[in-house]
Amino acid sequence: MADLEALLEAITSGDDARAECALTQLAKIGKGASKTLTPLLNSPDSDHRWWAVRALASLDDPTGWDALREALHDPDPAVRQCAALGLRKQPMTSAIPGLIEALEDPDRLVARLASDALAAIGQAAIGALAKAMASPNAGIRIEAVRALLNINNPQVIPSLLAALNDSSCIVEFWAEQGLERLGVGMVFFNP
């Protein structure tokens, strides 16, 4: 346990190089590390919370992934960004509601990373993304259509076709890109 305490001290030391080295060692510990890292998410220091989220995202331990979902609501945008990126790395269907909510985050990088995480989840996120496409907020629709095109599944075609009539030219652009990627509208002929 002393080793784990030393690794936690390295993560909270403020020395990024030490913290990054500690993450490699934490990954070797595995499941025990998640239980020790999770309390750091309540730290008043946003740097501690960021490193805890970063560490939890790098562990192959589902017990710590719930904390990643909760970190999407952190007051610090950098922590929310890290959580969304972690959920991209550890895609899980239980994160879909929180990631959909994050599409309207005031920090646009959080929204972009949430879109990427939803795309990583894939087919299970299509229904929620299709509903998000009905939002009056163009920013949400932009990130939702980006996620849909990155899922690259024929089930997204109806949503992408509907997006061709969107009031946002950016939404239309991404919808066109997605449809082209899926081969919709292409004509094949035998020369």
Give the residue extent of every domain in the chain. 1-90
List, in order, residues 6 or more apart from 116 with CB less than 8 Å away: 84, 85, 88, 147, 150
pTM score, whole prediction: 0.88
DSSP string, 66-84: HHHHHHTT-SSHHHHHHHH
Query: Cα separation of 152 and 179, whole Å?
Result: 9
Look up the CATH superfamily of 1-90: Leucine-rich Repeat Variant (1.25.10.10)
Query: Using one digit for the tens of pLDDT, what is the confidence trace for 35-54?
Result: 888 888 999 999 999 999 99
Q: Please tell me the predicted confidence (pLDDT) of residue 5.
A: 82
Query: Using one digit for the tens of pLDDT, what is the confidence trace for 60-82?
Result: 778 788 888 999 999 999 999 99
